[in-house]
Amino acid sequence: MSNTGIDTLTTAALLGTARATPTFDSLHTADTAAATIGTAEHRLLAAAALESVFLAGGTVPTPHPRPGVAPHDTRPELPPAATERFLGLLTVGSDLLDEWFRAAARFKAPAELIVNLLDRATPTGSTHRAALIALAGPRGQWVAAQNPRWTPLVEPDPADDDMWLHGTPARRRAWFENLRAADPAAATARLAAVWASENAATRLPLLEALSPGLGTHDEELLERALDDRSGRIREVAVRFLRRLPESAFGRRMAQRVQDWTRVDGSTLSISLPGTLDAAALRDGLEVRGPSRLGTVEAHRAWSLAASAPLAAWCDADRTPGDVLALEVSEGLGDPLRRGWDTATACHHDEQWASAMLRRDGRVDDLVAGALPRAVLVEHLRRASDTQLLDTILLDALTAPWPADVAERVLSALYTAAAPKSNTFRSLTTLLAHRAPYEVGDLFADAATRTDNLDRLNRFATAADILNQRRTLHEELS
């Protein structure tokens, strides 16, 4: 629809009605404008108003293609009671949300809830973003694609190269992570193809995205990353190569164990070179900047133990327990054992983790995650009340705890001092989230039997959480 008439009136207004007489012939509303009365300027303004209203009301709508039908989500829909509970948990940001999402993984959200889920997931850094998107499911992806505000929530299609080639850094990483989940080797090949053309700021997050699905298909690229100019990229490459004990990196480290260490009776001697060669420097054995371990030698010993395959320290006659029992020369025992802790966590080595627990009766949080459940449960059953209240070990024991272990922990807490301490609070919270539901009655009973107000409040809260967990799972069963 032409705007010629409005342009004519604009020209007349700029020149002034004293110098140019406005004409209305080119207006769509020419007859009505010509019939207006008043001074020249009043008639011009009236004509402009008439034409503007006509143009606004008479604009032909721009056609847009209808989107395709939303994909079908075959999952069963959330029961109404579970939906109501979820909204309540979401509103208060409850600690039970993680457990609720795990229990509700086989359900889809009601259609009327999808927009709410997308709005909750939209802010950068949104808590439970991935879980909210998963609950919305394929219908949520379809809805998100219709609104530019929700574009960051749309999972990139690994088959569409356009986002990888031309997208923002955040969208490129999202595309790469999706491809990594679908085909780890293909993702590595795509990154390797553009590695030389990317700057360090882009390479680093993409390299870090290799963590899930790490395997032998990543070795060649990680070896290239060892030669990168960026120290942070080299550190990530070393950290990932530690998780590949059969790699060339692992073989180089195993050879250094043979060359630099010797077992003589009950003593493990370490002879570290005074100056590292180029290959050792490339493999990250040298400290860069101040070391938390103190000396250069201590850092090198830690790096050797952290990076070498754990099998390099054992042989047919020497078990992990035997190695841990050796006396270490040169005062390097502590950094060496810290390195073994790191390696045990990297490889999730149950034998070494179990040997460490048997040796010391406790382990750090890295090693605790590698302990077999049966070994951990047996240790807790045999532990004294003092040893039992070990936050690291209890945190490593996944739900549901055996009833007898949960009851022993509750009993030990009932008589434990310092109910205001962080340890007491942490352990009662763990019990509430990991104990079997029947322990809830014992918690409620303990709350009524104590005279300490802080202990009473913690026990009563734990009992309430256990009851909520029971109901939560019943609603989703």
Element (H, E) at 364: none
Tokens of 236: 């990530």
Average pLDDT of span 259-286: 93
How many Å apart are CA 470 and CA 462, to the nearest integer? 12
Q: For residue 287, is pLDDT > 90?
A: no
pLDDT tens digit string along 419-448? Answer: 788 888 999 999 999 999 888 888 888 888
Helix, strand, coil shares of the chain as percentages rounded to 5? 65, 5, 35
How many Å apart are CA 246 and CA 216, to the nearest integer? 8
- Rg of the chain taking only CA atoms, in angstroms: 34
Average pLDDT of span 20-31: 83
Instruction: Judge contact between 268 and 301, C-beta under 8 A.
Output: no
At 441, give phi and psi (nearest 5°): -65, -35
Residue type, 435: A
Mean of pLDDT over the chain: 91
- Amino acid 279: pLDDT: 96
pLDDT tens digit string along 172-223? Answer: 999 999 999 999 999 999 999 999 999 999 999 999 999 999 999 999 999 9
How many Å apart are CA 449 and CA 428, to the nearest integer? 16
User: Measuring CA to CA, which residue among 27, 35, 34 is closest to residue 53?
Assistant: 27
Q: For residue 417, is pLDDT > 80?
A: no
Q: For residue 89, is pLDDT > 80?
A: yes
Cβ neighbours of residue 306 closer than 8 Å, sequence gap 6 or more: 242, 338, 339, 340, 342, 343, 346
Other CB atoms within 10 A of residue 383 CB? 18
How many Å apart are CA 101 and CA 471, to the nearest integer? 14
Does the predicted model carry a pTM greater than 0.85?
Answer: no
Cβ neighbours of residue 472 closer than 8 Å, sequence gap 6 or more: 82, 85, 96, 99, 100, 103
